[in-house]
Amino acid sequence: MHNHHSRDSNSDIDFSSLLSDQLLLRVFSKLPISHHLTTSLVCKRWLFLHGRLVPSLKLLDWRFLESGRLFARFPLLTEIDTVPSSCILRHNAPNSGVLLTSKPSFSFSLPIHDDDLSPLDPDRIHQGLQLIAQNYPNLRRISLFGASEHALATLSSACRTLQELELHSCGDLSLKGVSGCANLQVMKLTARTTGGLYASSVMVSDIGLTILAQNCKRLVKLELSGGCEGSYDGVKAIGECCQMLEELTLQDHRMDGGWLAALSFCANLKTLKLRSCRAIDSDPGLDEHLGVCPMLQELHLERCHVRDTKSAKSLFLVCGRVREIVLRSCWGLRDDLFAFASVCRRVKLLYLEHCSLLTTGGLESVLLSWKGLERLTVVSCSKIKDKEVTPELASLFSVLKELKWRPDTRSLLSADLEGVGMWRKGGKFFTGLKG
């Protein structure tokens, strides 16, 4: 009985209290992510220590920030996404907290529906960003919705290490607030949202692009999305001021005609991505005035309308030195338009997916003009047929380092080529998609 009583007494002792915070943090950091939630609920001390291991989160309720609980619970954040919380919950909506978006990853939130939301007051956003600036001076990445010029200025002046900034529903005037972001390397601008609760007419023009270029000269990646209305002057300013820019993405842009010619000022641009664009360039101008991106390596087009002959030709001329071309769901890409890609003499990789108007002959005419082609992928391009593959094209397939060929679900060419040994060269296997 005495021994049993002793064991019961010892079981009530918290031996973890004998361990230092640093030692417990080392133990927690070794645990699988799936165990973090359960261990953090053991006691208040363990909850606080787990919060110090979280570098990134997605904020779902602005009140969690305003109350100060965010800073007490997660004192060492370096990345925060405030976009989902940049609205207020109605009085009958469920409470919510935060969603952790990187290691460790777990959630304290409850479901929220659109009917439970209404826009957040701009003054509250400003005050909240002031608190973030005061408590997270080492912040490296933040996503914001509807932030004003003064709110951004407060944040940029305090968070000197800020490297990534994502702005939604921002305009030219808002961008004046990024003047203190001298170390910014990655920027994503969404001028307007896609309808619904947050629909707006906020736009970014050449004025905003020039402000951005003059204040964020260390940009490496820039994405312009949702109604950016720049033109030649804005893109030229980016190219001349942001000389470290390596990746430019335009999504659903509203650029004025002639903007393509300004890409030649982006001297170190390596990757150009166009997504969901209804037009490439409505009026690219004369070919001799276009210039060429000297360092461009990759051209990506996804869900873009490629129907205009002049803009398609101008795009491939500007991108004449690319080594990789990726075309996904390019509507209107006919043989005569794809033929302009033959000016890109240095292409080593071509990826085609869901380009339904391109035929076998149109593909072959370009491939045979590329003497350095090494990798080819053709997927779900219904007018490209196995039976139309010529001996010249088959000969090209045999020397490629990598071939993935499934233009449609009935394609049997991969299996045929494998049967005759065309997938081997120098003891190495070529990869293919079998029909």
Q: Which of 364, 357, 398 is nearest to 380 (CA)?
A: 357
Q: 388 and 364 share a domain?
A: yes
pLDDT score, position 21:
59
Q: Phi and psi dihedrals of 102, rounded to 5? A: -145, 180
The reported pLDDT for the residue numbered 419 is 43
In a domain, 3, yes or no: no
Q: Which one has a higher pLDDT value, 18 or 158?
A: 158
111 and 219 share a domain? Answer: yes
Burial of 409 (0-12, 13-18, 19+ CB in 10 A): exposed
Mean pLDDT of all residues belonging to the chain: 81
Distance CA 292, CA 266 (A): 9
More confident call, 23 vs 148 = 148
Residue 133 in any domain: the answer is yes
Q: What is the pLDDT of residue 180?
A: 83
Residue 87 lies in a domain: yes
Q: Strand 349-353 vs strand 375-379: parallel, antiparallel, or unpaired?
A: parallel
Quick one: 403 and 434 in the same domain? yes
Q: Which of 284, 317, 352 is the last residue of a domain?
A: 352
Residues 74 and 126 in one domain: yes
Model confidence at 27, in pLDDT bands (50, 70, 90)?
Answer: low
Cβ neighbours around 85 below 10 Å, total: 26
Are residue 179 and residue 235 in the same domain, yes or no?
Answer: yes
Paired with 272 in beta bridges are 248, 299
**Of 244 and 46, the one with more pLDDT:** 244
Please tell me whether residues 342 and 380 are part of one structural domain.
no
Is 14 a residue whose pLDDT tops 80? Answer: no
From residue 138, how far is each of 71, 116, 183, 312, 319 by CA, in Å? 13, 34, 12, 45, 39
Q: Give the pLDDT confidence of 403-417 residue by residue, as tens digits.
A: 999 998 776 665 455
Q: CA 299 to CA 293: how far, in whole Å? A: 11
In the prediction, which pLDDT does 121 show? 85
Residue 361 shares a structural domain with residue 424: yes
Indicate whether this model's pTM tops 0.85.
no
Quick one: pLDDT at residue 20? Answer: 62
pLDDT at 122: 86
Cis peptide bond prior to 111, omega within 30° of 0: no
Tell me, yes or no, whether 127 and 217 share the same domain: yes
**Residue in the block written with tokens 């009958």:** 92
Please report whether residue 5 resides in a domain.
no
Which residue has better confidence, 30 or 173? 173
How would you classify the pairing of strands 79-81 and 56-59? parallel
Does residue 303 fall inside a structural domain? yes
Phi-psi region of 196 (alpha: psi -120 to 50; beta: other; left: phi over 0): left
CA distance 385 to 392: 15
Model confidence at 424, pLDDT cuts 50, 70, 90, reads very low
Whether 108 shows a pLDDT value over 80: the answer reads no
Give the number of domains in the chain. Answer: 2
Task: Specify whether 433 is located in the same domain as 377.
Answer: yes
Which domain-ending residue is among 352, 368, 402? 352
What pLDDT score does 237 carry?
A: 96
Tell me the per-residue pLDDT of 181-213, one tens digit each, with 9 for 90 and over: 888 999 999 876 444 444 445 688 999 999 999
Mean pLDDT, range 293-298, rounded to an integer: 96
Q: Which of 302, 225, 289 is nearest to 263 (CA)?
A: 289
Which CATH number goes with the domain that contains 266? Answer: 3.80.10.10
378 within a domain of the structure (yes/no): yes
Q: Are residues 245 and 358 in the same domain?
A: no
The yes-or-no verdict on residue 251 having pLDDT over 70 is yes
- Mean pLDDT is highest, among 56-60, 114-118, 345-349, for 345-349
* Domain identity same for 231 and 357: no
Residue 227 has pLDDT above 60, yes or no: yes
Which of the four pLDDT bands, split at 50, 70 and 90, describes residue 375?
Answer: very high
4 occurs within a structural domain: no
Residues whose CB is less than 8 angstroms from the CB of residue 396 and which lie 6 or more positions away in sequence, other chains included: 367, 368, 373
Judged against a pLDDT cut of 50, whether residue 422 lies above it is answered with no
pLDDT, one tens digit per residue, over 148-192 is 899 999 999 899 899 999 998 888 888 999 888 888 999 999 876
Q: What is the mean pLDDT of residues 212-230?
A: 91
Residue 61 sits at φ, ψ, to 5 deg, of -140, 115
* pLDDT tens-digit series, residues 309-350: 999 999 999 999 999 999 999 999 999 999 999 999 999 999
Beta strands at 56-59 and 141-145: parallel, antiparallel or unpaired:
unpaired
Last residue of a domain, one of 320, 352, 384: 352
Task: Give yes or no: residues 102 and 250 share one domain.
Answer: yes
**Confidence grade of residue 6 (pLDDT, cut at 50, 70, 90):** very low
Which pLDDT does position 82 carry in this prediction? 93
Q: What is the pLDDT of residue 169?
A: 83
Predicted confidence at residue 229, as pLDDT, reads 87
In this structure, is residue 9 part of a structural domain?
no
For residue 291, what are the domain limits? 16-352
